[in-house]
């Protein structure tokens, strides 16, 4: 077989695998999976599918992968579908299994890098539908830095009576408080999740899908389409043509995910009132692609960026309702017109962000989901980076202002999420408490579990404005209330959160960006000297490996930072 063909310039990787007499064995094996003579001359596109029946977020993605494959073939490429994993935060929440959630982000990145790197794929299209597989997909594509596109699997429809998964979690707390009956709890359980798609509010999945679109790594509107819709099928088909254009122009993730693009993404996340997990994931993606991004950038950008979207969990509306009025494209056009976004950033369309937004129509008159700039929900970011003697290296809070701007209370200390949930449900936790949940960080848990069960139980019991919560773990995008996560250094690393005692006074001040433990420096030093590092909870397997290699949450909790 000749090494020369018309697509050689865009086949820099696959040609090394299939061209020439010496690669006849490779071609022989590929013939068995459907390659013909002409296919060996085409650019090969790895289609990374996160399909799985472990969660409704991803249960339809196999069908979307097939549509992507059709789109690639129609554009004269050769698509190759392969699988990577996903886990379900919503199902594992509050259990030991949730420790694998953030770990799965690294496994997904590793697997995409491994498969497409090994097989010589010239380009990559990845489809994700749940919290960790989206940043995991981007990190895998960033490591290889070959022309790439991300496709969002899409959002779920609302459940009966405008319910969603957070409704179920909060009903558990309501049940413990006697406000929700056994029958009512079962009815919510049976009807809140009607089918395929990611959790319906501006939780982590929809937050990250929006951030990725703002980064320029998905096609326009990919973040704002229902999981089961003609628009999502079109998104998949169009990706085939778009990836071939990226190959022709040799536009790679490093050309798209620039410093300016990350700032665009942060601004869009803030305006939408997005999840605290966006901080963790954007730091990780930036590290992977080689862009210098830090917690301080979120503070700087947040000072001039308002919250405009009235979306759950702290707001009223669901993503499916935002989709009906146009998604995030009109919002980005509004932001661009005000000079808030850098329109010169290149995107996976091969065009700039400004070119993509040029003909976008405004939201319909009278809509109430996206507020005007002169009447924001909050005049500056809800993602507040806090520092102080309880979090010397930083912490992340999601405060919309509805919770108040400061909270001072008495520490009630728990060494695990399970202990905390029990204390909330059995009445141990009372008004005025600051719940301290520690040893739940990236290394300590290990895996940095999300505290959705405790925060939802607090809301369900009617304590949302009466207690606060601080943790070296993190929060689901569905969490709301006076909550502070990502406390660094974490407890297992000797952070001050490890020496807090019941009855200590703690203040969280969003205006001053502080989280303070009311102890003298001398008392802190005495307690730190007496603190003993606990034995690791895992000594074998993926959780043990993760604990050994993971960086601080303030650095994105990546596993290749110090290699």
Q: Do both 405 and 388 map to the same domain? A: yes
Structure tokens at 474: 């993190």
The residue written with tokens 């289609």 in the block is: 47
Residue 63, classed as helix, strand or coil, is: helix
Catalytic residues: 476
Q: Is 440 contained in some domain? A: yes
Nearest-10 crossing angle of helices 101-119, 277-289:
30
Distances (CA, A) of 289 to 3, 27, 117, 118, 518: 32, 32, 16, 20, 40
pLDDT tens sequence across 442-457: 999 999 999 999 999 9
Residue 403, classed as helix, strand or coil, is: coil
User: Among residues 194, 213, 242, which one ends one of the domains?
Assistant: 194
Cα(494)–Cα(488) distance, integer angstroms? 9
pLDDT tens sequence across 251-264: 999 999 999 999 99
Q: Do both 202 and 242 map to the same domain? A: yes
Q: What CATH number does residue 504 fall under?
A: 3.50.30.80
Q: What CATH number does residue 240 fall under?
A: 3.40.50.2300
The whole-number pLDDT of residue 405 equals 85
Q: Do both 336 and 413 map to the same domain? A: no
87-92 mean pLDDT:
95
pLDDT tens sequence across 263-320: 999 999 999 999 999 999 999 999 999 999 999 999 999 999 999 999 999 899 999 9
Q: Is 39 left (phi over 0), alpha (psi -120 to 50) or beta?
A: alpha
- φ, ψ of residue 533 in degrees (nearest 5): -70, 125
Helical ranges in 472-520 per DSSP H:
none
The whole-number pLDDT of residue 239 equals 98
pTM given for the model: 0.97
Sign of CA dihedral 280, 286, 290, 295: negative
Whether residue 465 contacts residue 403, with contact meaning beta carbons closer than 8 Å, is answered with yes
Q: Do both 424 and 342 map to the same domain? A: no
Distances (CA, A) of 514 to 386, 393, 524: 5, 12, 17
Q: Do both 244 and 126 map to the same domain? A: yes
Structure tokens at 297: 């950038």
pLDDT tens sequence across 41-53: 999 999 999 999 9
Structure tokens at 281: 């994931």
The whole-number pLDDT of residue 1 equals 38
The whole-number pLDDT of residue 481 equals 87
Residue 2, pLDDT > 50, answer no
Helical ranges in 89-229 per DSSP H:
89-92, 101-119, 133-144, 165-176, 182-191, 204-215
The residue written with tokens 């539908």 in the block is: 129
Q: Do both 83 and 167 map to the same domain? A: no
Band (pLDDT 50/70/90 cuts) for residue 401 is: confident
Cα(353)–Cα(76) distance, integer angstroms? 26
List, as own/partner pairs, every contact residues 416-424 make where C-beta atoms lie below 8 angstroms and the sequence separation is at least 24, other chains included.
416/440, 417/94, 417/98, 417/449, 417/451, 417/453, 417/454, 417/473, 418/94, 420/451, 420/454, 421/94, 421/453, 421/454, 421/457, 424/173, 424/176, 424/454, 424/457, 424/458, 424/461, 424/463
Q: Is 563 contained in some domain? A: no
Q: Is 428 contained in some domain? A: yes
The whole-number pLDDT of residue 8 equals 56
214-223 mean pLDDT:
98
Q: Do both 279 and 262 map to the same domain? A: yes
Q: Do both 526 and 538 map to the same domain? A: yes
Q: Do both 414 and 531 map to the same domain? A: yes
The whole-number pLDDT of residue 3 equals 38
Domain holding 180, by residue range, is 158-194
What 8-state DSSP symbol labels residue 220? T
User: Among residues 340, 357, 374, which one ends one of the domains?
Assistant: 357
190-201 mean pLDDT:
97
Q: Do both 219 and 311 map to the same domain? A: yes
Q: Give the Cβ contact number of residue 374 at 10 Å.
A: 6
Q: Is 367 contained in some domain? A: no
Residue 6, pLDDT > 60, answer no
Those residues whose C-beta lies under 8 Å from the C-beta of residue 95, and which sit 6 or more positions away, are: none
Distances (CA, A) of 168 to 108, 165, 209, 373: 28, 5, 23, 33
pLDDT tens sequence across 14-30: 999 999 999 999 999 99
Q: Is 131 contained in some domain? A: yes
Which helix (H) or strand (E) covers residue 433, if one does? strand 433-437
Cα(61)–Cα(153) distance, integer angstroms? 6
How many structural domains are present in the chain? 3
Helices H / strands E in the chain, number of each: 21, 12
Q: Do both 236 and 293 map to the same domain? A: yes
517-521 mean pLDDT:
98
Q: Do both 402 and 318 map to the same domain? A: no
Residue 549, pLDDT > 60, answer yes
Report whether the peptide linkage leading into residue 446 is cis, meaning its omega lies within 30 degrees of zero: yes
Q: Is 38 contained in some domain? A: no
Residue 503, pLDDT > 70, answer yes
Q: Is 562 contained in some domain? A: no
The residue written with tokens 């200590």 in the block is: 504
Cα(460)–Cα(478) distance, integer angstroms? 13
């Amino acid at each position: 077989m000749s090494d020369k063909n018309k697509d050689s310039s865009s086949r820099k990787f696959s040609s090394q695998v299939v061209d020439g007499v010496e690669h006849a064995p490779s071609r022989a094996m590929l013939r068995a999976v459907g390659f013909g003579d002409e296919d060996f001359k085409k650019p090969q596109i790895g289609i990374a599918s996160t399909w799985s029946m472990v969660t409704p977020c991803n249960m339809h993605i196999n069908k979307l992968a097939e549509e992507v494959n059709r789109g690639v073939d129609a554009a004269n490429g050769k698509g190759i579908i392969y699988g990577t994993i996903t886990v379900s935060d919503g199902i594992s929440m509050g259990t030991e299994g949730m420790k694998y959630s953030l770990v799965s982000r690294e496994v997904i990145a590793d697997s995409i890098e491994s498969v497409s790197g090994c097989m010589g794929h010239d380009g990559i299209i990845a489809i994700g539908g749940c919290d960790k597989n989206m940043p995991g997909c981007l990190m895998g594509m960033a490591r290889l830095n070959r022309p790439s596109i991300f496709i969002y699997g899409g959002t779920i429809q609302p459940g009966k009576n405008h319910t969603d998964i957070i409704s179920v979690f909060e009903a558990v707390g309501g049940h413990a408080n006697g406000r929700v009956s056994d029958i009512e709890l079962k009815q919510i359980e049976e009807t809140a999740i009607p089918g395929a798609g990611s959790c319906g509010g501006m939780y982590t999945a929809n937050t990250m899908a929006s951030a990725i679109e703002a980064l320029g790594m998905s096609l326009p509107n990919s973040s704002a389409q229902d999981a089961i819709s003609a628009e999502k099928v079109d998104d998949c088909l169009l990706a085939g043509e778009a990836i071939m254009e990226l190959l022709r122009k040799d536009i790679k993730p490093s050309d798209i995910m620039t410093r300016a693009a990350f700032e665009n993404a942060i601004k869009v996340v803030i305006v939408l009132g997005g999840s605290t997990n966006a901080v963790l994931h954007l730091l990780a993606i930036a590290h992977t692609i080689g862009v210098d991004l830090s917690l301080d950038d979120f503070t700087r950008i947040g000072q001039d960026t308002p919250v405009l979207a009235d979306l759950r969990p702290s707001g009223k509306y669901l993503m499916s309702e935002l989709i009906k009025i146009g998604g995030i494209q009109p919002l980005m056009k509004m932001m661009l017109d005000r000079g808030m976004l850098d329109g010169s950033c290149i995107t996976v369309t091969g065009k700039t962000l400004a070119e993509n937004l040029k003909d976008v129509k405004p939201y319909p008159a009278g809509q109430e989901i996206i507020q005007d700039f002169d009447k924001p929900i909050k005049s500056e970011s809800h993602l507040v980076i806090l520092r102080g003697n309880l979090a010397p290296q930083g912490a992340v809070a999601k405060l919309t202002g509805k919770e108040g701007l400061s909270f001072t209370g008495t520490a009630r200390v728990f060494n695990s999420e399970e202990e905390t949930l029990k204390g909330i449900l059995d009445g141990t936790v009372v008004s005025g408490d600051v719940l301290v949940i520690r040893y739940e960080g990236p290394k300590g848990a290990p895996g940095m579990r999300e505290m959705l069960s405790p925060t939802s139980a607090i809301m369900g019991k009617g304590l949302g404005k009466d207690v606060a919560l601080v943790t070296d773990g993190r929060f689901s995008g569905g969490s709301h209330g006076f909550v502070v996560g990502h406390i660094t250094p974490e407890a297992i690393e000797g952070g001050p959160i490890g020496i807090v005692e019941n009855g200590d006074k703690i203040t969280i001040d969003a205006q001053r960006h502080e989280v303070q433990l009311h102890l003298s420096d001398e008392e802190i030093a005495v307690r730190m000297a007496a603190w003993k590092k606990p034995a690791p909870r895992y000594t074998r397997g993926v959780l043990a490996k993760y604990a050994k290699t993971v960086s601080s949450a303030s650095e994105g909790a990546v596993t290749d930072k110090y290699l």
